[in-house]
Amino acid sequence: MPEVVPSFSNSVKLKYVKLGYQYLVNHILTFLLVPIMVGVTIEVLRIGPEELLSIWNSLHFDLLQILCSSFLIIFVATVYFMSKPRSTYLVDYSCYKPPVTCRVPFSTFMEHSKLILKDNPKSVEFQMRILERSGLGEETCLPPPIHYIPPTPTMEAARGEAEVVIFSAIDDLMKKTGLKPKDIDILIVNCSLFSPTPSLSAMVVNKYKLRSNIKSYNLSGMGCSASLISIDLARDLLQVHPNSYALVVSTEIITPNYYKGSERAMLLPNCLFRMGGAAILLSNKRRDRYRAKYRLMHVVRTHKGADDKAFRCVFEQEDPQGKVGINLSKDLMVIAGEALKSNITTIGPLVLPASEQLLFLLTLIGRKIFNPTWKPYIPDFKQAFEHFCIHAGGRAVIDELQKNLQLSAEHVEASRMTLHRFGNTSSSSLWYEMSYIEAKGRMKRGDRVWQIAFGSGFKCNSAVWKCNRTIKTPTDGPWQDCIDKYPVHIPEIVKL
């Protein structure tokens, strides 16, 4: 019998070939400079000290040349340091943890749905199917007004929810950091669907008696990616206001936005969105570089609002009965994919190592010149980041990003577990995910974190953070009493 020739793929460890290629390309300057430096050193040793001294003595410098050279060096150094952007540090953050009295098990949610929609059993059945496949767990929470039958979404109740969520998160953050209200220079509050007068930012100013010259901003209608928009705004403000603190508050108030109609596309948010919020303290003070948890490296924002389908894929409107709700389009995942593609095209050159960028460029040239049917090369973002915080918008969102970015189960663990424990808390979900990674003791000094969020409009926003110091496992926080039981297995369908 003829000897079977082993296949190349099996006989050669392609994984190690790729690792070798990455190491070579990423350290190409080192490989080029080391031989040059060795050659120069050998030549200096060959010449000897006496000849070197004679060469030095043969050089003639007058006072004017020395002064001009010194002035030029000082001028260039001054221009460089003055034009260099100020570093933005994330000192600490805090996530709101709802009380157990707000918990909504599946049985409670379905019982309320049957009573509220008793004249529309098909809508009840639809909600049950969504909930079975949602990836949510039994401990997610809704605000007290939604627990009433029927729900009582009054303005007073909505303000009450906002006060509890926002003030609790800020109080905890101030306790962690030792921050005093008078220390806050910039305040940014984002909440998409609840925008009262006075604003939520004014509510915070009034509660904590903040300074009269505080720079206060209130962002609404920005969707689930609003937290990263707030971070970007805070970063820009910190560039022009030296030695300042910026307080960012991200939340979504559920009370006034519970849909009581029967349109299926508008019932989806009822099944996915839950209460939550986060407060984040940013600083540009040099003394905070050592105590801060993270340093902001990049923020990339992509807006697809020029396209009509993208603009209307997450749309607040009235149903035929005049009941207001959020309509989620069937094209949502396709539009999100296009927005993600644009976003990673921009962020890739900023974060990817040279080896990945070279492979991507060669594939792109090959497709343009030789064969357009070549499969496009998907950069390995695992080479650029140790941790991924993908907006916990729903199981389908996490599944799609895991597939497109070729991530492992561990890379999306924080997103899946956040969705299971807290549900879709809108813009604040990214901070629950980062808190999960810290609670697991996985955040080490030098680790890079990629936060990705999607929002109405349609937007895809990214932020890249670098960990300043190894973070000890926290003794408090939203995961304090349940982190030991996570990760949990989440079945494809939970039969109700």
Q: What is the DSSP letter of 112?
A: H
Residue-wise pLDDT tens digits, 310-321:
999 999 999 998
Which residue of the set 95, 411, 420, 461 is catalytic? 420
User: Is 489 among the catalytic positions?
Assistant: no
Residue-wise pLDDT tens digits, 3-12:
443 443 443 3
**In degrees to the nearest 10, what's the CA dihedral of 352, 467, 190, 157?**
130
| 398: nearest Cα among 148, 379, 407, 260 | 407
For the record, the structure tokens of 140 come out as 């997610």
Q: What angle do CA 111, 494, 428 make, to 5 degrees?
A: 80
User: Rounded to 5 degrees, what are φ and ψ at 390?
Assistant: -95, 130
pLDDT string in tens for the chain (496-residue length): 344 434 434 433 444 445 555 555 566 677 677 788 877 777 777 777 777 777 766 766 667 777 787 888 887 877 766 667 889 999 999 999 999 999 999 999 999 999 988 888 888 999 999 999 999 999 999 999 999 988 888 999 999 999 999 999 999 999 999 999 999 999 999 999 999 999 999 999 999 999 999 999 999 999 999 999 999 999 999 999 999 999 999 999 999 988 888 888 899 999 999 999 999 999 999 999 999 999 999 999 999 999 999 999 999 999 998 999 999 988 899 999 899 989 988 898 888 888 788 887 787 788 778 777 777 777 889 989 999 999 999 999 999 999 988 899 999 999 999 999 999 999 999 999 999 999 999 999 999 999 999 999 899 999 999 999 999 998 889 999 999 999 999 998 888 7
Which residue of the set 95, 387, 389, 467 is catalytic? 387
Which residue of the set 27, 241, 298, 303 is catalytic? 303
107: Cβ–Cβ under 8 A, 6 or more apart, which residues? 496
User: Is 191 among the catalytic positions?
Assistant: no
User: Is 391 among the catalytic positions?
Assistant: yes
Which residue of the set 95, 141, 224, 467 is catalytic? 224
| 451: nearest Cα among 411, 391, 400 | 391
User: Is 112 among the catalytic positions?
Assistant: no
Predicted local confidence at residue 73, as pLDDT: 83
Residue-wise pLDDT tens digits, 318-353:
999 899 999 998 889 999 989 998 998 889 888 888
Predicted local confidence at residue 77, as pLDDT: 79
Predicted local confidence at residue 9, as pLDDT: 40
Cβ atoms 169, 278 nearer than 8 A: yes
Tell me how crowded residue 469 is: count the other CB atoms within 10 A of its CB: 14
Q: What angle do CA 84, 87, 90 make, to 5 degrees?
A: 170
Predicted local confidence at residue 74, as pLDDT: 83
Give, in order, the Cα–Cα distances in Å from 145 to each of 154, 364, 436.
8, 54, 29
Predicted local confidence at residue 5, as pLDDT: 39
Predicted local confidence at residue 317, as pLDDT: 92
Which residue of the set 95, 284, 391, 468 is catalytic? 391
Which residue of the set 190, 257, 424, 468 is catalytic? 424
Predicted local confidence at residue 402, as pLDDT: 93
